[in-house]
Amino acid sequence: MAFLMEWKKRGGAKEEATTTVAPRKVCDTPECINLSYQLLNWRDPSVDPCDDFYRNTCGRYPPGSDPTVTRISDLLSKNQTSASQIIIRKYYQKCEFLKIPENSKTDRSFEDLMSAIRKIGPWPMVDWDESMLDEIRTALKNRGIDTSGDSEFLNDPKFKKIISKILKIEGMDEEVKGNLTERRMDLLILKFIFETTRFLPVDREEWERMDCGKIILQLFPNSVQILTDYQNDPENQKILSEIFEKSRGSLLKFINGSRGIDKGEKIRKLKEMRIRYPEITEETDFEQFTVSPDDSWYTMTSRVLPTPQNPPIFYNSTENTLLISPGLSDSSPGLQNYIKLGYLMSKTMANALGIKKNCSETILGSEGLGAEATRISMAEQPLIPGFQDHPDKLFFYILAANLCSEPAKQVNELFSSMKSFSDTFNCPGGSKMNRNNNCEYL
């Protein structure tokens, strides 16, 4: 603007004035180089991005890849200090120890499983005793196990292997297996076995294939937060606050520029929205654990009650705040993390405001608006090696790579509804990845 005002003062120019935009910097840190390597190796360049962007970006994605799991494994290789951190590390060390064939042979998991079953009641139930039914239900509920009539778990392949192994250890005939679901109490015991053996390998091959970082994340959903002491890190909170402000600013631009959105209340709500970091009471949560070196893997893992994993970013409508999971920004490299967090924040805010996208009578969620807002907010972020010639495409590749574990249809639906995507990749009208002509925000 200052340049234009000075230009006008001088009466304009006799020749057409031109301005140049400074090129974006290229990040050459190890994290950025690894990100570039990941994007290039996961891609399938034989697939046209305008035909199937998921396959184009994730066609060679290795199943099970999760930077959070890698991060946990790295953290657990270091010394931990708090009581909760020490407990998690003991579980991880036990897992790694049992992956060695000689060690898994000495594990007494199935013996301990049978002991746990007998504490609940005799099994299989030869003589029906109606008075035991409530007692068994109570024992299972105390362990956080659902006692409804659900029996779908009976078809689980691993569960069938475990039952066969138990029958073999106990010297029971395989024909007994077919009669185990006839009595309500037997079914409850089977549910107990299923719920407490989720992390129990059946054979040596399964022991060796155990992904200990992944198991820790499933056993302790808050393990990243606990291991990083993140709630005390002001630098990470500063980064998250910056991403939040940029994401909110981009959303405000979208709302102001939209014709179909009822602006007044949504703008007020968005301007007043704040972020908050919930406190973690890990020391209290881990008071129940006493881990002995002699404990079997079954004893250790069955001791952890089922815990629902909260979303990394959650909207609290009562407070009009985004609750940010501590440790969230510690699981991916910088640029990739910026896009991942910006997208999660933006779509959570858009969803909280009730903004949806109508594309040819198909109502989409807030994901598209979240992605658009993130794209705008990262316009000044650095490039990475291998993508200097495609600066506008980099955002889409990184966001899609973050979504490789999601269903392909869901990912393609997101990008095909974004006008910025079809413009950037020059997708012709009518192509599978260009369906935004009839889209509007509601």
Task: Please state, in angstroms and rounded to a whole number, the distance separating the CA atoms of residues 246 and 263.
Answer: 19
> How many other CB atoms are found less than 10 A from the CB of residue 100?
11
Q: What separation in angstroms does the CA of 274 have from each of 225, 240, 270, 321? A: 21, 12, 9, 5
Quick one: which H or E segment has residue 441? strand 439-441
Q: Write the CB contacts of 44 (distance below 8 Å, at least 6 apart in sequence).
A: 55, 56, 58, 59, 60
Task: Please state, in angstroms and rounded to a whole number, the distance separating the CA atoms of residues 431 and 433.
Answer: 6
Give the pairing of strands 274-276 and 313-316: unpaired
Backbone φ, ψ for residue 223 (5° rounding): -65, -35
- DSSP H helical segments within 142-296, as ranges? 157-169, 184-196, 204-209, 212-219, 223-228, 234-257, 263-272, 282-285
Task: Please state, in angstroms and rounded to a whole number, the distance separating the CA atoms of residues 161 and 152.
Answer: 15
CATH superfamily of 30-62+228-441: Collagenase (Catalytic Domain) (3.40.390.10)
Q: What is the pLDDT along the chain (442 residues), one digit of tens a residue?
A: 332 233 233 344 334 444 455 667 888 888 788 888 888 999 999 999 999 999 999 999 887 666 667 777 777 777 667 777 888 888 988 999 999 989 988 999 989 988 888 777 666 554 445 566 676 777 777 766 776 766 777 788 888 888 888 877 777 665 555 555 556 666 777 888 888 898 999 888 889 888 888 888 888 877 766 776 654 567 777 878 888 898 888 888 878 877 666 778 888 999 999 988 766 554 445 656 677 888 999 999 988 865 555 677 889 899 999 887 655 544 444 677 778 888 888 889 888 888 766 655 444 456 677 787 788 777 677 888 888 877 889 889 999 988 888 889 989 988 988 888 989 999 998 888 987 555 565 5
Task: Please state, in angstroms and rounded to a whole number, the distance separating the CA atoms of residues 352 and 30.
Answer: 37
Q: Which of 152, 144, 137 is nearest to 184 (CA)?
A: 137
Q: Which of 333, 307, 308, 419 is nearest to 435 (CA)?
A: 419
CB 415 within 8 A of CB 343: no
pTM of the model: 0.66
Give the pairing of strands 274-276 and 321-324: parallel
SS3 276: strand
**Domain ranges (residues) in the chain:** 30-62+228-441, 109-205
Task: Please state, in angstroms and rounded to a whole number, the distance separating the CA atoms of residues 296 and 111.
Answer: 9
